[in-house]
A and B are shown apart, each in its own frame.
Chain A
Amino acid sequence: MTIELILFIIFSSISAVSSILMITRSNPVISALFLIVNFASLAGIYLLLNAQFIAVAQVIVYAGAIMVLFLFVIMLLKPEREKLFTLHPRVKTFALIIAMLVFIQLVYMVFLSHPSSSVNPVVAESVKAGTIEQIGRELYTNYVLPFEAAGFLLLAATIGALILAKKKFD
């Protein structure tokens, strides 16, 4: 057991357990807090994969900005009884069966395609690929048009959110 495997087991079990707790809690605030735990452990997994920039962006953008937005909206709206949200138990069983089938299918596909035979990981290349220098160089040379489009999308989303939340639908 190397330190890498131990860290992977710790982070992956935290993210799996917190994601299950996220969808089963009835209080939305607690759900949001478990989602933050999940995002933080994913940032740890990104660090294990030598993706430093993505790990930092995950903490700042997801666990910071987006989840604060979610918590703000939860606090703004009136808390409702989860009793109102009850679902027919048969629907729940059906959803569980469908999800298990899709999961088994995905795992089967992963083992069938056997991706570890087609990748040959080199640690030095992997570290180089994850640096902000490499990502920034790609972003501002070959991918400058998608970058501008992403900026335009954020502008459009800001204007759209303002207009949607501003006034009542009549």
Chain B
Amino acid sequence: MIIPIEYYLILSAFMFIVGVMGVLIRRNAIIVFMSVELMLNSANLTLVAFSSYMGNSIGQLFVFFVMTVAAAEAAVGLAIIIAMFRNKMTMNIDEINILKW
């Protein structure tokens, strides 16, 4: 444990920002989804780093719950993408705008 915890936090911040960039600049719905997974993982890294450096296992328990929610989110989101693709034959999130008016 000789590495300062700041290193882990900066790595986590960097991965989060890359995820945000992926959501902002990519128009492919599946890649936007993968960027969201990347952001969830960077939050997990922060939780595990603090949990390990403070000797408390509650943070890792939260990571377990985040993984559960991420699995559920991936299943439902990919089902939505498949349904949208059947309907409009596209994966471009700029063309999927039926909730917009």
Contact B34 A15 (CB under 8 A): no
* Contact digits for A91-127, partner B, Cβ 8 Å, 1 yes 0 no: 1100110111011001100110001100101110110
A-B contact count (CB 8 A): 241
The 6 closest A-B pairs by CB, nearest first: A125-B55, A157-B72, A23-B22, A95-B24, A164-B79, A121-B1
Bound Cα distance A161, B77 (Å): 8
- For the complex, count residues of A whose C-beta is within 8 A of B: 88
Given contacts A39-B41, A45-B8, A146-B65, A119 and B71 within 8 Å (CB-CB): no
A22 CB to closest chain B CB (Å) equals 7
Contact A161 B21 (CB under 8 A): no
Bound Cα distance A4, B2 (Å): 8
Q: Within residues 47 to 61 of chain A, which ones have a CB less than 8 A from any CB in chain B?
A: 48-51, 53-54, 57-58, 61
Contact B53 A119 (CB under 8 A): yes
B87 CB to closest chain A CB (Å) equals 5
Bound Cα distance A95, B20 (Å): 9
Given contacts A16-B14, A35-B34, A164-B76, A138 and B61 within 8 Å (CB-CB): yes
Chain B residues with CB under 8 Å of A115's CB are: 5-6, 9, 50
Bound Cα distance A57, B22 (Å): 25
Chain A residues with CB under 8 Å of B91's CB are: 77, 80
Contact A54 B79 (CB under 8 A): no
- For the complex, count residues of B whose C-beta is within 8 A of A: 75
Bound Cα distance A5, B4 (Å): 10
Bound Cα distance A12, B8 (Å): 9
A-B contact pairs, 6 of them (CB 8 A): A50-B52, A53-B60, A119-B50, A160-B75, A161-B76, A168-B87
Bound Cα distance A36, B49 (Å): 21
With A28-B30, A49-B49, A157-B72 given, can you name 11 additional A-B contacts, CB distance below 8 Å? A8-B3, A23-B31, A42-B44, A66-B74, A85-B28, A95-B21, A122-B1, A129-B55, A154-B68, A168-B83, A169-B86
Chain B residues with CB under 8 Å of A98's CB are: 24
B31 CB to closest chain A CB (Å) equals 5
Chain A residues with CB under 8 Å of B37's CB are: 35, 62, 66
Bound Cα distance A2, B2 (Å): 9
Bound Cα distance A164, B80 (Å): 6
B97 CB to closest chain A CB (Å) equals 14
Which of A39, A49, A91 has the most C-beta atoms of chain B within 10 angstroms of its own C-beta?
A49
